[in-house]
Amino acid sequence: MALASVSRRLPVGAEPVLGLGVHARVWAPKAIRVDAVLVAGPGAPGEVLLTAEPGGYFSGRLPGAAAGTLYRFRLDGGDAFPDPASRFQPEGPEGPSEVVDPEAFPWTDAGWGGLALPGLVVYEMHVGTFTPEGTLTAAAAKLSHLREVGVTAVELMPLADWQGRWGWGYDGVDLYAPTRNYGRPDDLRRFVDRAHALGLGVVLDVVYNHLGPRGNCLPRFGPYFHREKATGWGDALDYDGEGSGPVREFFVANAVHWIAEYHFDGLRLDATQDIHDDSPRHVLAEISEAARRAAGSRRIVLLTENEPQDARVVRPPDRGGFGLDAYWNDDFHHTAVVALTGRRQAYYTDYLGSPQELISTARWGFLYQGQRYSWQRRRRGSPVLSVPAAAFVTYLENHDQLANTLAGDRMHAASSPGRHRAMTAWWLLAPGTPMLFQGQEWSASSPFLFFADHAQDLAEEVRKGRAEFLSQFRHLVEVGAAYPDPCAAETFTRCKLDWSELPRRGQHLALHRDLLRLRREDAVFRRQDATRMHGAVLAPLAFLLRHLGEEGDDRLVLVNLGPDLRLTPCPEPLLAPPEGRRWELLWSSEDPRYGGSGTAHPERRPVASALADARAYEELESETWVLPGEATLVLRAGTP
């Protein structure tokens, strides 16, 4: 039966079709014959010869099959393999595929409108370590906590099934099948539905630049890889070679699948610099268009990791861009970490952590927009000065950066409490799009390490590779550091959040909750308009950001990462209040509720123990600024 006469949801895979039962379709251009082998469940056992179509496709109806049927595809009478577009692998990547009916789930989110970039607050989650159970069902039960903190969207680390019991998900090989390690497909739908009921969006991290080293059956079916192009993980996927149309279709349809069949509110595309495509129209632009079309009236956001900081990524397609919405901003992270820790090793070498860098990354997004980058011995980045601030996803922690330390250390443990609070305030009140990593909102004690469950031969390669990667940090080599075994079960279980410590972390939780509320409810910060923000360096470890409001309703963010700072005199025009107004203290990172020691208004610190003339006292007092050490203060322009 020709595809044109079948009303399929997606071009590949086995899926129930109205009035037809289950219909299967697969691309296998090197095969002469393909049989669908029904292994178990309705319609099994038995084999069904599929009909050859032009372009190397094979398709056909599977008599008697239904949701729950297990099947494989046999190529040319030889071995049978899982479906490359399997919707579920209940026994893992090398087991049989299962027919799934995506229309059977009783969604309740008809009124959900999706996500938009303005106002977005992202929370990166690894399902396997977010709860002790490590399941989607357990994670869904914690979503109300995220809503109370002020998160608006959960970003799930990759779910495509991989070989092994635990892992980060970036070794996925069944790109259409949510991993059985976290539950069944409807558990994922239930998670998304619950999030939408709470007013939370859900974004999925997808990997379209490589597949995992074990369980990948794509090469059995067709030439999915480009032998003349390479990535850090091996041969690149073939998006532009001769006859590569079905490969592009496979990945474009995968993006559509997550948006349409699971109601995801967006995607985060991993390492897009390793998606090599010299076609007239880049596959990322095609993915962007198809994903938005699949969402219909629901708004989605498309985020990306792009190490070279290529301006084309967020440029509109009609201007030669890929049409994505926002980048992860490593420059923001790197300069913040240097400011917090003082360490400038490996890829932190080209950052000072200086007040000017912190001002510039808040104002302009990337710090490197075409300058020479000595760590890579070449220029890095391209101009993005006109890109709006919300298009830069900012963070102090994420899965990669935590794991790139010896012990997966959290940032609160790598710096002083005061400096960490001050930096958190600078970050959450900056105009970008903030992203928290799981547990960061309460300064969780659990680390986040690299872990992967591999067979012994591959495990040894992973251990060696991890040690070699971390050796770029000189201090780890000098102390003869012992690297946690990435393939040990203990390494994985150590990373699970300990929710029992949450009641004891109220000060940390209040800090993040209050800052996100201020960001959300204050009209000036809510605008996220970097064009109306100006900065100035006050001292080697202190700076200010002034956000211009309407009719002089300005906000002043004073950040001091050093000791107490006395600014007398203070010849900085950005410190002057709007005409006819006076600065009032709006918020302080030294509030005792957050573990601070209290804050006096910076303009009202006494400078003499006694003055007979009250007017002289006021004049002298108003000229004195004392910024507390390791603190961030937020002032607003109030009435005189």
**614: pLDDT strictly greater than 50:** no
Of 296-305, 458-467, 507-516, which gets the smallest average pLDDT?
458-467
Q: Does residue 19 share a domain with residue 84?
A: yes
What's the average model confidence in pLDDT over 135-155?
98
Are 397 and 440 in contact, with CB atoms under 8 Å apart? yes
Phi, psi of 315 (to 5 degrees): -75, 140
How do residues 154-175 score in pLDDT, each as one tens digit? 999 999 999 999 999 999 999 9
The CA distance from 599 to 469, in Å, is 44
Residue 169 lies in a domain: no
- Domain of 58, CATH number, reads 2.60.40.10
The CA distance from 16 to 25, in Å, is 12
Closest CA to 258 of 195, 204, 180, 324: 204
Instruction: Exactly one of 186, 193, 238, 305 is catalytic; name it.
Output: 305
Question: Can you give the residue range of the structural domain that contains 634?
Answer: 529-638
The pLDDT, as a whole number, for residue 359 is: 98
**136: pLDDT strictly greater than 70:** yes
Residue 156 lies in a domain: no
Radius of gyration of the chain (CA): 27
At residue 340 the predicted structure's pLDDT band, cuts being 50, 70 and 90, is: very high
Which segments of 96-246 are extended strands (E)? 97-98, 122-125, 153-156, 160-161, 174-178, 201-206, 225-231, 234-237
Of 350-354, 407-411, 615-619, which gets the smallest average pLDDT?
615-619
Residue 168 lies in a domain: no
Q: DSSP state, 317?
A: G
Q: N- to C-terminal Cα distance for the chain?
A: 80
| The last residue of a domain, from among 71, 98, 125 | 98
pLDDT: which is higher, 129 or 612: 129
Q: Does residue 228 share a domain with residue 283?
A: yes
Residue 393 lies in a domain: no
Measured N-to-C along each axis, helices 330-341 and 355-364 cross at an angle, to the nearest 10 degrees, of 160
Q: DSSP state, 50?
A: P
Specify the pairing of strand 433-437 against strand 122-125: parallel
By the 10 Å C-beta count (0-12 exposed, 13-18 middle, 19+ buried), 616 is classed as exposed
Strand partners of residue 178: 160
The CA distance from 163 to 487, in Å, is 13
Q: Does residue 321 share a domain with residue 228?
A: yes
At residue 622 the predicted structure's pLDDT band, cuts being 50, 70 and 90, is: low
Structure tokens at 29: 């251009």
| The last residue of a domain, from among 350, 378, 406 | 378
At residue 600 the predicted structure's pLDDT band, cuts being 50, 70 and 90, is: low
How do residues 292-315 score in pLDDT, each as one tens digit? 999 999 999 999 999 999 999 999
At residue 444 the predicted structure's pLDDT band, cuts being 50, 70 and 90, is: very high
Phi, psi of 515 (to 5 degrees): -65, -40
The pLDDT, as a whole number, for residue 478 is: 67
Mean pLDDT of the chain: 92
Q: Does residue 10 share a domain with residue 88?
A: yes
Q: Does residue 340 share a domain with residue 315?
A: no
Residue 509 lies in a domain: no
**606: pLDDT strictly greater than 70:** no
**618: pLDDT strictly greater than 50:** no
What's the average model confidence in pLDDT over 90-112?
97
Closest CA to 386 of 452, 319, 464, 457: 319
What's the average model confidence in pLDDT over 493-510?
97
- Domain of 607, CATH number, reads 2.60.40.1180
The pLDDT, as a whole number, for residue 63 is: 94
How do residues 15-59 score in pLDDT, each as one tens digit? 999 888 999 999 999 999 999 999 988 888 899 999 999 999 999
The pLDDT, as a whole number, for residue 220 is: 95
The pLDDT, as a whole number, for residue 479 is: 61
| The last residue of a domain, from among 74, 98, 122 | 98
| Residue 545: Cβ within 10 Å count | 25
**449: pLDDT strictly greater than 70:** yes
**608: pLDDT strictly greater than 50:** no
Q: Does residue 630 share a domain with residue 572?
A: yes
Q: Does residue 368 share a domain with residue 300?
A: no
What's the average model confidence in pLDDT over 68-91?
97
**235: pLDDT strictly greater than 90:** no
Residue 385 lies in a domain: no
Closest CA to 120 of 268, 322, 259: 268
- Which stretches within 38-135 are classed as H helix? 127-130
Q: Does residue 316 share a domain with residue 220?
A: yes
What's the average model confidence in pLDDT over 127-150?
98
**Three-state DSSP class for 602?**
coil
Q: Does residue 551 share a domain with residue 587?
A: yes
Are 392 and 326 in contact, with CB atoms under 8 Å apart? yes
Catalytic residue flag (residue 305): yes
Residue 552 lies in a domain: yes
The pLDDT, as a whole number, for residue 254 is: 98
Closest CA to 558 of 365, 367, 422: 422
Of 83-87, 464-468, 495-499, which gets the smallest average pLDDT?
464-468
Q: pTM of the prediction?
A: 0.95
Specify the pairing of strand 542-547 against strand 392-394: unpaired
What single letter denotes the amino acid at residue 629? Answer: G
Q: Does residue 343 share a domain with residue 230?
A: no
The pLDDT, as a whole number, for residue 228 is: 75
Three-class SS of 75-132: ECCCCEECCCCCCCCCCCCCCCEECCCCCCCCCCCCCCCECCCCCCCEEEECHHHHCC
What total of structural domains would you count in the chain? Answer: 4
Q: Does residue 591 share a domain with residue 565?
A: yes
Of 468-477, 479-488, 513-522, 597-606, which gets the smallest average pLDDT?
597-606
Are 222 and 285 in contact, with CB atoms under 8 Å apart? no
Are 89 and 82 in contact, with CB atoms under 8 Å apart? yes
Residue 117 lies in a domain: no
What's the average model confidence in pLDDT over 92-121?
97
Q: Does residue 252 share a domain with residue 353?
A: no
Instruction: Exactly one of 270, 274, 441, 453 is catalytic; name it.
Output: 270
The pLDDT, as a whole number, for residue 482 is: 74
Structure tokens at 339: 């400011």
